[in-house]
Amino acid sequence: MAGAQLHPGAWWLWALALGTAATRTTNPLLLTLLIVTSAYVVATCRPNAPWARSYTAFVKLALAVLLIRLVFAVALGSPIPGTHVIVTLPEIPLPDWAQGIRLGGRVTVETLVFALYDGLRLAALLICVGAANSLANPTRLLKSLPGALYELGVAVVVALTYAPNLIADVQRLRAARCLRGRPDTGVRGLLHVGLPVLEGALERSVALAASMDARGYGRTADVPPRVRRTTTALTLGGLLGVCAGTYGLLTAEGGAYGLPVLLAGLAAALAGLRLGGRRTLRTRYRPDRWDARAWLVAGSGAAVAALLTLAAGRDPAALHPGVVPLVAPDLPLWPAAAVLIGLLPAFISPAPVKETS
């Protein structure tokens, strides 16, 4: 059954592309459509596994971020001018070196709407990351990484699987206490649930360390010094080229050299990673295949990101509705249709199966 499943890298590329599309707009209608798109795909394609139950936690985190953004806008003010005053809070005088910052003062509708648009964009990005975390098996994703990134990938996978397992432990312990008629809320309930959860996390950490040691984790091959120096030079040079090329693309003066430098940096970094993989002694058992469905899933997300980036350049007013004067946002038709391309994985991905890791 595992061989029939979609490549986990395709899910991450699809979700990160949707997150990139979310950063290109502050239109709340488009952002809501992106969130609904990711939620529908998760509800349709999410497997029945412990690590796949973290989507709700990411949604709650996104709502918390949105609420914190609104609280900051009320407490610290905003540079957005407004005429529709909701309430006037007592303003605390600040010293001269804190110019541009205020505590309290007028709270306007324009300030809250601007904060809502800005916070909703970050919330949509977090929800897209949560979708990838719920759809892609982290163990299979680790198996697909290049050899040079294996040790880094292990650390990332352990970090990504810790939160879902912790959430599953909390839910299981709370359900067990409810069946026994014991309280699971309040300080006492928190202590009786929290201590077993921490104990289980410690036991899993010790078991993971023992299994990694038994499998020879960290063992490296002997390579010539010339290859090590070449690998270091290519990797560092490639990363510097990526940074310089990205900076060139983001500035008007560097538009001529930005793309060539970025491509050259990516090529050098990939070459460095390929050479660095010689130091890692590892084998892959039944590696996941990148088939046509993986290309379609990753391509659907890339299409959404590319089309919304194009729309942001051609019609910035539609993708970034203004708040001064305060007007209701409109739903641009062809960018909205572009977002719906992200629903393609729900119709072409294989049926979810029960996974244990």
Residue 27 has a pLDDT of: 92
Mean pLDDT by groups of 10 residues along the chain of 357 residues: 70 92 91 95 86 84 93 79 76 69 77 90 93 83 67 64 69 79 70 75 72 66 76 83 79 67 85 72 70 92 92 86 82 92 90 60
76 and 6 both lie in a single domain? yes
10 and 133 both lie in a single domain? yes
The answer to whether residue 301 is domain-embedded is yes
306 and 274 both lie in a single domain? no
End position of a domain, from candidates 259, 279, 299: 279
252 and 306 both lie in a single domain? no
How many domains, in total, are found in the chain?
A: 2
Burial 118-134 (b: 16+ CB within 10 A, else e): bbbbbbbbbbbbbbbbb
Residue 2 has a pLDDT of: 41
End position of a domain, from candidates 258, 279, 300: 279
Total length of the chain: 357
Q: Is 83 exposed, middle or buried (0-12, 13-18, 19+ CB in 10 A)?
A: exposed
The answer to whether residue 196 is domain-embedded is no
118 and 36 both lie in a single domain? yes
330 and 227 both lie in a single domain? no
The answer to whether residue 256 is domain-embedded is yes
239 and 300 both lie in a single domain? no
26 and 128 both lie in a single domain? yes
Range of the domain at 133: 2-149+290-348
Residue 131 has a pLDDT of: 92
The answer to whether residue 125 is domain-embedded is yes
Confidence (pTM): 0.71
Residue 336 has a pLDDT of: 93
Whether the link from the prior residue into 287 is cis, omega within 30° of 0, is no
Give me the amino acid identity at 94.
L
Residue 1 has a pLDDT of: 39
